[in-house]
Amino acid sequence: MYVLCFMETKEPDEIWLIQFYAPWCSFCKQLDPVWHKIGSELRSLGSPVRVGKSDATANTALAKEFKVRNYPAILMLKNNVKYNYPGSRTKDGILDFADRVSGPLVRSLSSTRLFQHAINRHDVIVVYVGATSELKGNLTAAAEELIVHTYFFSASREVLPKELTLTSLPAVLLFKDGTHFIYDKEQDGELKSWIKRERFPNVFLIDSYTLYAMGESGNSSTPLTA
């Protein structure tokens, strides 16, 4: 675990998971043991992600550079791009974010077994099917922003279940709640906006972030459970 100012010594290819905190912040104090567990687990897994924390009240210039407004603020810095963590402050949630953002923007699913593993492991995934195309470029561009929320994959048609019907390729599919949705440019509009609207499971535990994110996405009809 590193207490930062890391910018003075950071190498260009390093990936950092950073917590900005304030000494008086009670939520930061609650997160502290979780943060240490996250650092230990990532090290034990051999992850390339380095974990650190910075007192935003002492390192004000660094906090200002990263536009820290609330505490604790969690972000990942990869290839000099900042990714803000938008989820609940839990160990599993933060570890999933670290795995998702530190890896490729669009991951390859090379077998039916890997596809099934992704479906079973994640509530929502987005899958591109087909060869290189303008649509795949649009998906990659969308992933640059939305990777903080969900996983993006690419696969050949043979990897997907045989009962799944695709009338044409290339295609983008979003899997959630045991079913799938196929992107249609004419009906759905911009790809990134469609993913933003559809990425919420139909039923999930609500928290303040989820409520805010749904409002930002324009998705107001998803049933919720407390």
User: Which residues are the active-site residues?
Assistant: 25, 28
CB atoms within 10 A of CB 113: 10
Structure tokens at 10: 């950071």
**DSSP labels for 83-138?**
EE--S-S-HHHHHHHHHHHHS-SSEEE-SHHHHHHHHHH-SEEEEEESSS-HHHHH
**How many helices (H) and strands (E) in the chain?**
8, 10
H/E element holding 210? helix 208-217
Cβ atoms of 48 and 102 closer than 8 Å: yes
Residue with structure tokens 């994110």?
213
Cβ atoms of 20 and 53 closer than 8 Å: yes
Rg (CA), the chain: 19
Neighbouring residues of 98: CB distance < 8 A, sequence distance ≥ 6: 17, 38, 42, 47, 49, 76
